[in-house]
């Protein structure tokens, strides 16, 4: 593995990164009210009396959100706390109607776990998960709708979030991105969060510090609310450079909360440690401790789908795929399922190759998704089957694939219809070769005199005569016998 | 028709069913009584028109034999309860004019059983107080008087409720009790008040003071009426996560059970230095009555009692400081416009909340602050556990506990107190039941030398309200107390 150290003017620095990811729970209703949790409604349409914190309103837990948190905990191989407690985090803001956020402070629903990240060089590494807790989202303040007033949209108020806190185990922005990518992948496999970063379903706060290798942790900053992998990497890289410069210039890092500017790629101070809120956490007296029966945990564990790491290991171990191909194929559940179906009964490695190169390439170009495009698992499998059994060559297969992608249809009928079948009849090939030799007597003499390079010329001529359909292996073999004869 | 006002709720139900009176007549009499006694300031909103409509509907149901438990019975509602379409302000300026679109579960239960809403009753602002003097509507007055004729407090926070029931301007009333806010005013006004077990009555739709302590309960002029109202208002509510799914006992049946063979505990720690001798006497009297009725009296110890008040005055303000954060001027209620959000908060809350509410918000904020949380809030919660343990131990040997309801009788409105802590002492006998979540009942037991009522308090195991009604009925029968306060409707003044 390559070194993650960053060299500054005065020597090497080690970067230490921890992430807090807020993942919106996939659920029909909010965490403590029956209001809809769907995205995209007109302002203040999905607001119940509880969400608006009307006098005398009380929260009642949405048990489906609890089950989603437990599923996620199980997916992170984490400890499930059968008893957890909801606390109030008190602060005033216009889009926080209760004047407190219901969260879990001392006793979260999920304890320690691990996440295996897949790095670009094909290696993997385990990152510690410290905890996962359930909490309410806040509303949205809009400051640009009126010259002197702010508008408040409470649709998101009270929507269930899972805050997933990592250990400070990451050492580069690439690892941090890999962490979020893998976390997102697991959440989507589990169906516990749609992972849609553009809509804000998944956002990350990054804690960054630098230190000399082997020394104690440096002072960290927290940059809030990053909603794309690119922004996460940019914010970390900016912080690392900024912090190293400050320290190398003899300064000190302030422990503070920072904001990321998506247009400049820079971070800036949001509030310093002195201005930090005193949230006055205490157990919410409107809610009893959350108790989950072990039986329910067992039932959820038994119903868990196969997760990307398991599938990846299987693809490498049983099918012999490369770590890279296996990681690419298993990032999305749809892709993994597509691959499993397409490769069943066919050359597994060859199917993986066709998927990651031809299919993904075509999708990239067309902007379609896997489910939208004309290629079904059966059709891709069929195409690879024709290559494997010698019906068509790899080269012809590319043309067939292009037709399949464009117009639909299965490989066998396209090959049949267009007469693209590979010629493997040795008599037919011999006849073609004899004709080519007869037409190029001078070249035959040159070849026999030692101009080996001309062999490629003869192959090309034969293939051309056959319209690309002659079995290239047989052409090679027969041609060599005849020329070297 | 003044004598109609002398009917209890059970009696009125019988008279209504027998068509001796109509619900409209009874309700009209109560509306007139409320208008007559307006000087007591126990109503903050009289909903006469609505009451008469409800009464007419009751008469129709009585006629078709569909009468509910409280059919046609006029009931006053503490202003802390949200009532759909009618102002619900917790007697605070910050909620001035607030009219909810929803009905609290407890009042909805009462109306479902045919109760008739007379109006909203005065109380301490956000139920914070023991004399009804912190109300934004000004103090409610006790219908009882001493010879000097001075206005007396009805107690609090449910002062309007106790005052109205005693003054015959409500036949029944709802209250809430966080540290004694039903039992103390009941004792001051000579009526019966029950604080149910925590979780018995839904808190949904009641303006929250301290969520882990608040309980709604009934006020009435006698024990049987109280049982009737409690039967109607209590019940499991899935909208309140702290509501208990424990079946309610048959409370009316308990009224005739008596105390024969019952063990009643007398806690040593409830004897206070310098306690009013008349309170001591009435407590002794209550013990004698229960013994005479066949109960066995047992000396018990509740060793952590002295820590109850300090623990309460940490936990209740802590919860209140958070519960009252929603009154911020953003969505409803009062707003003082300002240049910035923070300034708007500050001005709105400074103008909207009274002095006592502000004091408790500040205490609560302080005890939850970083660096103080462990020393105050956490320690108070440990004390609370010890107090509950004291009661659990005691209830291994006794079925109920008898104590005075208050350390004194009602005192004059505007009594000068230099130290707010003196006011807190009103709750010294009532607070432990809230901390432990136990049911408690205040029953009038007699009068002091100044002609003011004194009450006794009965406590029982969680969810055993029936024992309170059984023993309460015995005390009521033995005391023969007649609640005829001078300033009642149809009274002398």
Instruction: Measure in Å the smallest separation between the Cα of A90 and chain B Cα atoms.
Output: 7
pLDDT (average), residues A153-181: 97
At A1, the pLDDT band (50, 70, 90 cuts) reads very low
Instruction: Measure in Å the smallest separation between the Cα of B330 and chain A Cα atoms.
Output: 7
B interface mutation test: which of A54, A55, A278 has the most B CBs within 10 A?
Answer: A55
Least confident stretch, B368-377, B379-388, B408-417, B442-451: B408-417
Mean pLDDT score across all residues of chain A: 93
- Tell me the two tokens of residue A446: 């040159």
Say yes or no to pLDDT of B361 above 50: yes
Say yes or no to pLDDT of A39 above 90: no
| A59 contacts B325? CB cut-off 8 A | no
Inter-axis angle of helices A63-75 and A173-190, nearest 10: 130
Mean pLDDT score across all residues of chain B: 96
At A274, the pLDDT band (50, 70, 90 cuts) reads confident
| A280 contacts B370? CB cut-off 8 A | yes
Catalytic residue among B22, B28, B58, B78: B78
Say yes or no to pLDDT of B62 above 80: yes
Sorted by sequence, the CB contacts under 8 Å of residue A211 that are 6+ apart come out as A13, A14, A16, A217, A218
| A58 contacts B377? CB cut-off 8 A | no
At B1, the pLDDT band (50, 70, 90 cuts) reads very low
Per-residue three-class SS string for chain A: CCCCCEEECCEEEEEEEEEEEEEECCCCECCCCCCECCCCCCCCCCCCCCCCCCCCCCCCCCHHHHHHHHHHHHHCCCCECCEECCEEEECCCCCCCCCEEEECCCCCCECCEEEEEECCCCCEEEEEEEEEEEEECCCEEECCCCCCCCEEECCCCCCEEEEEEECCCECCHHHHHHHHHHHHHHHHHHCCCCCCCCCCCEEEEEEEEEECCCCCCCCCEEEEEECCHHHHHHHHHHHHHHHHHHHHCCCCCCCEEEEECCCCCCEEEEEEHHHCCCCCCEECCCCCCEECCHHHHHHHHHCCCCCHHHHHHHHHHCCCCCHHHHHHHHCCHHHHHHHHHHHCCCCHHHHHHHHHHHHHHHHHHHCCCCCCCCCCHHHHHHHHHHHHCCCCCHHHHHHHHHHHHHHCCCHHHHHHHHCCCCECCHHHHHHHHHHHHHHCHHHHHHHHCCCCCHHHHHHHHHHHHCCCCECHHHHHHHHHHHHHC
Neighbour-count burial of A319, counting CB atoms closer than 10 A to its CB (0-12 exposed, 13-18 middle, 19+ buried): middle
CA distances from B189 to B42, B140, B142, B445, B478 (A): 12, 12, 6, 11, 19
Tell whether domain A426-484 is in CATH 1.10.10.410: yes
| A90 contacts B322? CB cut-off 8 A | yes
Q: Is B181 tagged catalytic? A: yes
Catalytic residue among B22, B92, B158, B181: B181
Q: Which residue has the tokens 């009925």?
A: B473
Say yes or no to pLDDT of A246 above 50: yes
| A90 contacts B326? CB cut-off 8 A | no
pLDDT digits (tens, 9 = 90+) for A317-363: 999 999 999 999 999 999 999 999 999 999 999 999 999 999 999 99
Say yes or no to pLDDT of B351 above 80: yes
Q: Within an 8 Å CB–CB cutoff, is residue B86 touching chain A?
A: no
- Tell me the two tokens of residue A212: 């000399």
Q: pLDDT > 90: what percent of chain B?
A: 94
| B345 contacts A60? CB cut-off 8 A | no
pLDDT (average), residues B242-258: 97
A interface mutation test: which of B240, B368, B369 has the most A CBs within 10 A?
Answer: B368
Nearest CA in chain B to A88: B322
Interface of B with A in 18-77 (CB under 8 A): none
- The conformation of residue B329, written as its DSSP 8-state character, comes to S
Catalytic residue among B58, B88, B92, B157: B157
Give the one of B101, B242, B345 whose C-beta lies nearest to A92's C-beta.
B345
Say yes or no to pLDDT of B293 above 90: yes
Q: Within an 8 Å CB–CB cutoff, is residue B99 touching chain A?
A: no
- What pLDDT is stored for residue B48 in this prediction? 98
Decide: B468 and B421 in contact? Cβ < 8 Å. Answer: no
pLDDT digits (tens, 9 = 90+) for A206-230: 999 999 999 999 999 999 999 999 9
More confident position, B225 or A471? B225
Q: Which residue has the tokens 């965490």?
A: A31
Give the one of B82, B322, B342 whose C-beta lies nearest to A55's C-beta.
B82
- What pLDDT is stored for residue B419 in this prediction? 66
pLDDT digits (tens, 9 = 90+) for B231-240: 999 999 999 9
| B242 contacts A285? CB cut-off 8 A | yes
Decide: A401 and A382 in contact? Cβ < 8 Å. Answer: no
Q: Is B157 tagged catalytic? A: yes
Q: Within an 8 Å CB–CB cutoff, is residue B345 touching chain A?
A: yes
A100-103 sheet: strands from edge to edge: A100-103, A87-90, A282-283
Neighboring chain A residues of B95 at a CB cutoff of 8 Å: 55
Instruction: Measure in Å the smallest separation between the Cα of B179 and chain A Cα atoms.
Output: 16
Q: Within an 8 Å CB–CB cutoff, is residue B244 touching chain A?
A: no
pLDDT digits (tens, 9 = 90+) for B141-157: 999 999 999 999 999 99
More confident position, B261 or A467? B261
pLDDT digits (tens, 9 = 90+) for B76-119: 999 999 999 999 999 999 999 999 999 999 999 999 999 999 99
pLDDT (average), residues B477-485: 93
Domain spans, chain A: 13-300, 306-417, 426-484
Instruction: Say how many CB pairs under 8 Å bridge A and B.
Output: 97
Residues recorded for chain A:
485
Neighboring chain B residues of A287 at a CB cutoff of 8 Å: 241-242
A interface with B, Cβ–Cβ below 8 Å: 49, 52-61, 88, 90, 92-94, 97-100, 150, 152, 278, 280-282, 285-288
Per-residue three-class SS string for A291-340: ECCHHHHHHHHHCCCCCHHHHHHHHHHCCCCCHHHHHHHHCCHHHHHHHH
Q: Within an 8 Å CB–CB cutoff, is residue B328 touching chain A?
A: yes
Least confident stretch, A309-323, A411-425, B424-438, B454-468: A411-425
Q: Is B78 tagged catalytic? A: yes
- What pLDDT is stored for residue A4 in this prediction? 82
| B104 contacts A56? CB cut-off 8 A | yes
- What pLDDT is stored for residue B418 in this prediction? 65
Instruction: Measure in Å the smallest separation between the Cα of B293 and chain A Cα atoms.
Output: 41
- What pLDDT is stored for residue A27 in this prediction? 96
Decide: B202 and B211 in contact? Cβ < 8 Å. Answer: no
- Tell me the two tokens of residue A63: 């048990």
Q: Within an 8 Å CB–CB cutoff, is residue B204 touching chain A?
A: yes
Give the one of B203, B328, B370 whose C-beta lies nearest to A58's C-beta.
B203
Neighboring chain A residues of B89 at a CB cutoff of 8 Å: none
Please give the full DSSP string across B344-364, using - where no structure is assigned. Answer: HHHHHHHHHS-HHHHHHHHHH
- What pLDDT is stored for residue A395 in this prediction? 84
Least confident stretch, A6-15, A177-186, A247-256, A476-485: A476-485
More confident position, A13 or B273? A13
């Amino acid at each position: 593995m390559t070194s993650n150290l960053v060299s500054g003017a005065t020597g090497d620095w080690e970067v230490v990164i921890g992430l807090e990811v807020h993942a919106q729970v996939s659920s029909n209703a909010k965490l403590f009210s029956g209001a809809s949790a769907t995205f995209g409604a007109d302002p203040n349409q999905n607001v119940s009396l509880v969400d608006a914190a009307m006098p005398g309103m009380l929260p009642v837990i949405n048990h489906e959100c609890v089950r989603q948190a437990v599923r996620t905990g199980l997916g992170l191989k984490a400890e499930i706390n059968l008893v957890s407690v909801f606390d109030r985090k008190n602060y005033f803001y216009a889009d926080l109607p209760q004047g407190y956020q219901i969260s879990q402070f001392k006793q979260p629903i999920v304890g320690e776990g691990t996440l295996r990240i897949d790095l670009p060089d094909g290696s993997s590494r385990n990152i510690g998960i410290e905890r996962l807790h359930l909490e309410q989202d806040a509303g949205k303040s809009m400051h640009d709708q009126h010259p002197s007033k702010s508008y408040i949209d409470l649709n998101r108020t009270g929507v269930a979030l899972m805050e997933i806190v990592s250990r400070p185990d990451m050492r580069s922005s690439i690892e941090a991105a890999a962490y979020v990518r893998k976390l997102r992948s697991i959440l989507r496999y589990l169906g516990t969060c749609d992972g849609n970063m553009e809509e804000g379903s998944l956002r990350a706060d990054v804690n960054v510090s630098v230190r000399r290798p082997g020394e104690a942790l440096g002072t960290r900053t927290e940059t809030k609310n990053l909603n794309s992998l690119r922004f996460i990497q940019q914010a970390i890289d900016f912080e690392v450079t900024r912090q190293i410069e400050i320290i190398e210039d003899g300064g000190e890092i302030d422990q503070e909360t920072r904001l990321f500017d998506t247009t400049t790629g820079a971070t800036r101070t949001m509030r310093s440690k002195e201005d930090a809120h005193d949230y006055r956490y205490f157990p919410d007296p409107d809610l009893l401790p959350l108790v989950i029966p072990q039986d329910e945990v067992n039932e959820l564990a038994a119903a868990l789908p196969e997760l990307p790491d398991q599938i990846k290991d299987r693809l490498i171990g049983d099918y012999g795929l490369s770590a890279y191909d296996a990681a690419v194929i298993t990032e999305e559940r749809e892709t993994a399922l597509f691959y499993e179906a397409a490769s069943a009964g066919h050359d597994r490695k060859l199917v993986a190759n066709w998927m990651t190169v031809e299919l993904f390439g075509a999708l990239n170009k067309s902007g379609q998704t896997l489910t939208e495009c004309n290629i079904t698992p059966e059709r891709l499998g069929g195409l690879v089957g024709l290559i494997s059994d010698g019906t068509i060559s790899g080269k012809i297969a590319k043309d067939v694939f292009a037709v399949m992608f464009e117009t639909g249809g299965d490989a066998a009928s396209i090959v049949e219809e267009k007469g693209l079948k590979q010629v493997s009849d040795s008599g037919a090939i011999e006849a073609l070769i004899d004709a080519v030799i007869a037409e190029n007597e001078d070249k035959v003499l040159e070849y026999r005199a030692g101009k080996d390079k001309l062999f490629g010329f003869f192959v090309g001529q034969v293939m051309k005569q056959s319209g690309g359909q002659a079995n290239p292996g047989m052409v090679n073999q027969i041609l060599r016998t005849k020329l070297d004869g | 028709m003044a004598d109609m006002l002398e009917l209890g709720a059970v009696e009125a139900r019988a008279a209504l069913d027998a068509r001796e009176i109509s619900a409209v007549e009874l309700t009209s009499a109560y509306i007139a009584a409320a208008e007559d006694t307006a000087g007591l300031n126990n109503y903050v909103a009289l909903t006469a028109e609505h009451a008469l409509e409800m009464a007419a509907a009751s008469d129709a149901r009585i006629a078709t034999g569909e009468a509910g438990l409280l059919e046609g019975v006029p009931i006053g509602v503490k202003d802390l309860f949200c009532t759909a379409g009618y102002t619900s302000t917790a007697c605070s300026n910050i909620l001035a004019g607030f009219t909810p679109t929803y009905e609290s579960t407890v009042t909805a239960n009462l109306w479902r059983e045919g109760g008739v809403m007379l109006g909203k009753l005065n109380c301490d602002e956000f139920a914070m107080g023991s004399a009804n003097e912190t109300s934004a509507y000004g103090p409610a007055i006790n219908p009882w008087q001493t010879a000097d004729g001075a206005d007396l407090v009805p107690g609090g926070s449910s002062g309007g409720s106790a005052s109205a029931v005693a003054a015959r301007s409500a036949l029944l009333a709802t209250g809430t009790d966080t540290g004694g806010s039903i039992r103390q005013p009941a004792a001051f006004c000579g009526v019966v008040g029950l604080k149910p077990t925590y979780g018995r009555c839904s808190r949904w739709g009641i303006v929250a003071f301290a969520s882990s302590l608040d309980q709604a309960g009934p006020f009435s002029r006698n024990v049987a009426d109280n049982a009737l109202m409690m039967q109607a208002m209590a019940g499991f509510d899935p909208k309140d996560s702290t509501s208990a799914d424990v079946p309610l006992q048959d409370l009316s049946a308990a009224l005739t059970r008596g105390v024969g063979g019952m063990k009643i505990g007398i806690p040593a720690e409830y004897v206070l230095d310098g306690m009013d001798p008349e309170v001591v006497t009435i407590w002794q009297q209550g013990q004698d009555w229960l013994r005479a009725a066949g109960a066995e009296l047992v000396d018990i110890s509740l060793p952590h009692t002295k820590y109850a008040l300090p623990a309460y005055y940490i936990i209740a303000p802590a919860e209140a400081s958070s519960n009252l954060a929603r009154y911020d001027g953003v969505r409803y209620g009062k707003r003082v416009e300002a240049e910035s959000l923070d300034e708007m908060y500050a001005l709105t809350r400074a103008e909207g909340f009274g002095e006592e509410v502000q004091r408790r918000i500040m205490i609560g904020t302080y005890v939850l602050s970083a660096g103080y949380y462990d020393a105050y809030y956490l320690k108070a919660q440990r004390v609370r556990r010890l107090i509950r343990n004291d009661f659990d131990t005691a209830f291994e040997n006794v079925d109920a506990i008898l104590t005075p309801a208050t350390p004194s009788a009602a005192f004059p409105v505007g009594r000068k107190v230099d130290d707010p802590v003196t006011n807190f002492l009103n709750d010294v006998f009532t607070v432990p039941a809230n901390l432990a979540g136990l049911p408690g009942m205040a029953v009038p037991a007699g009068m002091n030398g100044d002609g003011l009522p004194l009450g006794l308090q009965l406590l029982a195991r969680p969810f055993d309200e029936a024992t309170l009604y059984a023993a309460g009925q015995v005390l009521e029968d033995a005391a023969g107390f007649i609640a005829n306060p001078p300033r009642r409707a149809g009274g002398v003044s």
